[in-house]
Amino acid sequence: MRALKRYDRRGFTLVELMIVVAIIGVLAALAIFGVRRYLASAKTSEAKNSVGAITRGAAAAFERETAASQILGGGTSSAAASHSLCGNATPVPDTVPAGVKYQPNATEGEDFETGSATDGWKCLRFSVNQPIYYQYHYYQGTQVPGATGAPNPGPTGFEAGAVGNLDNDTLNSYFIRGGAVEAATGQLTLATQVYIENEYE
């Protein structure tokens, strides 16, 4: 009786094993795609966060009152304080990193350590000390060349952005946010969100 029970057990058929292997293969492919997408999203979050920080710096600089340094004689008044946007900042790095990271130079007068109280990165109070995947820019009154659909801030506005090429091909990705000073009210109005073109390039 025991011998009959021992031989009554059966294993998996070849078809069942092939189905299990196929399911594992599909799950592995989905996992690889998900991991790649996650890594690309982590890299693009650098650009989104930095563009947001540059935009906040531009808004804060506009809110600060600036006044010319003057020596006044008796019975005279100084010029009125004004609000103005920071002047252009030199793009960092000089060229768009192609699938690699760039370590900004923290030396005075280099990369994000350029500008003055009214111009460039020092006016924006923006700096990065960690390696970056993107080229960052800030233009007052003009746009970065290359992005096709970004809103134009016009001569009274600014554009903060990041340009990248994560997969080292001929196509760049753009992350841009701008703002403009309204002529009627003299107030700075920011774009509602970051404009994104070719996000994972």
**Average pLDDT taken over every residue of the chain:** 86
* Number of helical (H) and strand (E) elements in the chain, helices listed first: 3, 6
**In this structure, are residues 195 and 151 in contact, taking their beta carbons and an 8 Å threshold?**
yes
In a domain, 132, yes or no: yes
Cβ count within 10 A of residue 165: 21
In a domain, 142, yes or no: yes
**pLDDT confidence band for 4 (50 / 70 / 90):** low
Closest C-alpha among 110, 119, 116 to residue 92: 110
Q: What is the DSSP string of 29-88?
A: HHHHHHHHHHHHHHHHHHHHHHHHHHHHHHHHHHHS-B-----PPTT--PPPPB----B-
Q: Is the pLDDT of residue 154 over 60?
A: yes
Quick: pLDDT tens for 57-76: 999 999 886 666 767 778 88
pLDDT at 21: 92
**In this structure, are residues 176 and 159 in contact, taking their beta carbons and an 8 Å threshold?**
yes
Query: Which token pair is 115?
Result: 């500008």
In a domain, 72, yes or no: no
Radius of gyration of the chain (CA): 28
**pLDDT confidence band for 112 (50 / 70 / 90):** very high
Closest C-alpha among 144, 135, 140 to residue 111: 135
Place of tokens 């001929």: 170
Quick: pLDDT tens for 172-185: 999 999 999 988 88
In a domain, 40, yes or no: yes
**pLDDT confidence band for 152 (50 / 70 / 90):** confident
Tally of domains within the chain: 1
DSSP one-letter code for 102: B
In a domain, 42, yes or no: yes
pLDDT at 201: 77
In a domain, 14, yes or no: no
Please give the Cα distance from 87 to 22 (Å, whole number).
Answer: 59
- Provide the β-strand partners of residue 98: 165
Cα dihedral 43, 48, 49, 53, rounded to 10, equals 140
Query: What's the Cα-to-Cα distance from 177 to each of 59, 81, 91, 99, 119, rounded to whole Å?
Result: 12, 27, 15, 23, 18
**Residue 130 structural domain:** 36-65+81-197
In a domain, 116, yes or no: yes
pLDDT at 42: 80
* pTM of this structure: 0.77
In a domain, 59, yes or no: yes
